[in-house]
Amino acid sequence: MCVLLPSLSLCSQINSRDASGQTPLHRACERGDTACVTELLEESQARTDIKDQDGETPMHCAAKQDTPAIIKVMCSRMCSGVNELNLHGETPLHVSCRLGRVESVKALLGGGAKCDVIGGVGYPIHSAMKYSEKG
């Protein structure tokens, strides 16, 4: 469980970045911590549009994990970042397709991810096909 102390100084730092440009929301998504992500979004109004040094939003971090619950929580809050390209030319959908995260792909599509965004390797379907070739 994520416990955030109710202090003004913490609230003002909720969107602060570490050396790699990540916010606490990025880190919670990477860890797959649904409770913490929910708390950061609901109680602290953490921003979902901040990009790290690789151009990744917290949604990119969630897309790398096999945690569709986090994607659903973020998408339910009209989160920005669901169709953003990172510096590698990938949306979160491209990332999930490339990594073979089937449940995350379903959650992204259900949450409004567009399958017609052209990235560095083409459409998300191209990433999915490359993954299936590795099989």
- Residue of 102, 98, 105, 86 lying closest to 128 (CA atoms): 98
**63-117 tens-digit pLDDT:** 999 899 999 999 998 778 899 999 999 999 999 999 999 999 999 999 999 999 9
Distances (CA, A) of 68 to 8, 32, 53, 65: 31, 9, 24, 8
Residue 95 · residue 61 · CB < 8 Å: no
Phi, psi values for residue 110, rounded to 5°: -65, -25
Domain residue limits, the chain: 8-134
What's the rounded Cα separation, in Å, for the pair 59 and 48? 7
pTM listed for this prediction: 0.88
Mean pLDDT score, 19-42: 96
SS3 at position 16: coil
Q: Within 3-123, where are the H helices?
A: 8-12, 24-31, 34-42, 58-64, 68-75, 92-99, 102-110
Chain-centroid distance, C-alpha 90 = 12
Taking each helix axis from N to C terminus, what angle separates 24-31 and 34-42, rounded to the nearest 10 degrees? 150
| CATH number, span 8-134 | 1.25.40.20
